Amino acid sequence: MKPSRTLLARASAAAIAASLVSLTACGGSDDHNAAAPQVPSAAQACATLSGKTIGGATLSAAAIPASGAIPTYCKVNGTLAPKLNFEIRLPDAWNGKLHYAGGGGYNGSIPGVASALNALQQGYATASSDSGHQGSVIDASFALTDTFAAQLFGSLSIPTVMSTAIEAVTAAYGQPPSKSYYEGCSNGGREGLMNVQRYPNLFDGVIARAPAYNWVGFMGAFNRTAKALAAPGGSFSPAKTALLAKAVRDACDGLDGIVDGVVSNPAACTSAVFNPASLRCAGGADTGDTCLSDAQLAVVSSWSTEAVFSGNPTFRNAGWSLTGNEDDPGAWSVWVTGNGTVTNALQFLFQDTTVKNYLARDPNANSLTYAPWDQNQNALYAMAALNDATNANILPFANSGAKLILWHGGNDAALSKNSTAEYYNNAVAAVGGQTAADAFMRFYVAPGVNHCAGGPGADSTDLLSALDNWVTGKATPGTLTAQKLDAAGGAVLFERPLCQYPKYPRYTGPANDAAAAKLASNYTCT
């Protein structure tokens, strides 16, 4: 678009001025502006795509009427052989961009429309898949019997579906998406980092929340903690979990400037401030709900210390921070303790299906007696090759001009925010330092927030808009705002600044003022 010197020499000042105006307009509007032609409606998109074959998949398409917060959209489904099912949702008022919503756990089903609701409301076309097999999120049996399904789950499903999604969107709307963004949490966060590392040109921006990127490391940590809970006297009842959580809150809640039930500055909650051994039952045997046995203290130790396997620096998991919210209904009971029955806990279930289908490769293997975790090094390396997204050198992604936002809930009992911090720090070093990293990467921690959402903290932030504004040059993300919404998802109960790691929101407002404590402006990222 740059005019040649000859053209410039011939042009009148008025013409140059006019061309500068047009260049400015061009550069300032990646997206569609008022002058853009009317984009086809969802119904028109459905009519175009229904029965059409793209990438070998014959598409079905149905217009879905608006319902509650969900806008009208065209729901497009198809299957890429042999069994990779995908869904594309095309809104009425397309904003010209494509959003890919990642999955969770061991996938096996297409994420519901809620996973892409924010994007759909903003006019994005959205795409998702079941990752290439069908089943429960806690069932990895596909990996035992189907090598291709294991590859699709590990890294291939998203680029495969994206190629079809771009073609379908282009057919429906008459033009390709101007930008493509990826967003996912948990395994979806891992898929996001997999895209960043292996397909650096696939997306213009990636949001990786609570990423399960260190598959070998965190599954090994799950296994270690499950064994500690299954050991004689190790079981954690709800009362024991509540005892631990309250002791942490009593010692550390106020270290962030406000006693609000959330330890927003876990780095200050050191063993000198709170030592779990202070809760030890006299003699070390379990004598009731007012203390922890030695076996229960071993669980806390397993939880809060790093796990490293085979001496491989990427086969590791950073220990979890004690948060004081272990007793939140979405924290330890669901993920770790199973309320006294470890085999009900999700961490147990995930490592169990992993041992059976990736490591021992025996459906009858007993994960609680499978020891050590790295006894079968070939299997460990094979699983890492499929599923680990630990490569910190993401310069190719940065050099493509793409942006990455990492996010992690501070009270995540499933995956350790400290592991995500390790990845962030490794990536900062690998790309050449903080300045180079700041040009394309952000990491936010949301204190008091559970795995992906929920918990006592402010769990709601429009990261997609922050990413889009960054990619399109409108605004560089700094401190963002996080909200806690009521159960209906409407009213804002309170706000906090969402600080860039390693900062945390420190209360700097008036003391003993409940109204002031709800306002983000009364906190300072420290």
Phi first, then psi: give them for residue 359, nearest 5 degrees: -100, -65
Q: Smallest distance from the beta carbon of 290 to Ca ion, in angstroms?
A: 25
Task: Give the integer Cα–Cα distance in Å for 404 and 193.
Answer: 9
Q: How far is the CB of 239 from Ca ion (least distance, A)?
A: 24
CB nearer Ca ion, residue 87 or residue 256: 256
Name the residue nearer to Ca ion (CB basis): 204 or 260.
260
- The least distance separating Ca ion from the CB of residue 451, rounded to whole angstroms, comes to 20
Closer by beta carbon to Ca ion, 111 or else 447: 447
Closer residue to Ca ion, CB minimum distance, 255 or 441: 255
Q: How many CB atoms lie within 10 A of CB 432?
A: 12
In whole angstroms, give the CA distance from residue 99 to residue 116. 8
Question: Do 179 and 401 meet the contact criterion of CB atoms below 8 Å apart?
Answer: no
Q: How far apart are CA 508 and CA 412, in angstroms?
A: 26
Beta strands 480-485; 441-446: pairing state: unpaired
Q: Which is nearer to Ca ion, 251 or 404 (CB)?
A: 251
Q: CB of residue 263 vs Ca ion: minimum separation in angstroms?
A: 6
Question: Rounded to an integer, what is the distance from CA 416 to the centroid of its chain?
Answer: 12
352 near Ca ion (CB under 5 A): no
Name which of residues 296 to 315 contact Ca ion (CB under 5 A): none
| Buried-state track 343-382, b at ≥16 Cβ within 10 A, e below 16 | eebbbbbbbbbbbbbbbbeeeeeebbebeebbebeebbbb
Least distance between Ca ion and beta carbon 248 (Å): 11
CB of residue 252 vs Ca ion: minimum separation in angstroms?
A: 8
Q: Which of 130, 260, 328, 468 binds Ca ion (CB under 5 A)?
A: 260
Cβ proximity to Ca ion: between 316 and 506 the closer is 506
Is 150 or 251 the residue whose CB approaches Ca ion more closely?
A: 251
Shortest CB 187 distance to Ca ion, Å: 30
- Shortest Cβ 247–Ca ion spacing (Å): 15
Please give the helix or strand (H or E) that residue 16 lies within, else none. Answer: helix 13-28
Question: Is residue 218 within 8 Å of 317, Cβ to Cβ?
Answer: yes
Residues 6+ apart with CB under 8 A from 380: 216, 309, 310, 315, 359, 373, 374
**Dist CA 435 CA 379 (whole Å):** 38
In the complex, least distance from residue 229 CB atom to Ca ion, rounded to whole angstroms: 28
Instruction: Number of residues interacting with Ca ion: please give it, by CB under 5 A.
Output: 5
Name the residue nearer to Ca ion (CB basis): 262 or 342.
262
Residues 239-258 that bind Ca ion (CB under 5 A): 253, 256, 258
Site membership for Ca ion, residue 374 (CB under 5 A): no
Shortest CB 276 distance to Ca ion, Å: 20
Q: Least distance (Å) from Ca ion to the CB of residue 523?
A: 10
Cβ contacts of 201 within 8 Å, gap of 6 or more:
396, 400, 402
Burial of residue 272 (number of CB atoms within 10 Å: 0-12, 13-18, 19+):
exposed
Query: Considering only CA atoms, which of 526, 466, 477, 467 is closest in space to residue 502?
Result: 526
Query: Which CB sits closer to Ca ion, 179 or 249?
Result: 249
Q: Report the residue number, 195 or 411, with the smaller CB distance to Ca ion.
A: 411
**Block residue for tokens 């700041």:** 438
Taking the C-alpha atoms of residue 26 and residue 36, their distance in angstroms, rounded to an integer, is 12
Whichever of 274 and 309 has its CB closer to Ca ion, that residue is 274
Q: How far is CA 460 from the centre of its chain?
A: 13
CA distances for 523 relative to 261, 282, 325, 408, 519, angstroms: 15, 42, 21, 19, 8
Site of interaction with Ca ion (CB under 5 A): 253, 256, 258, 260, 262
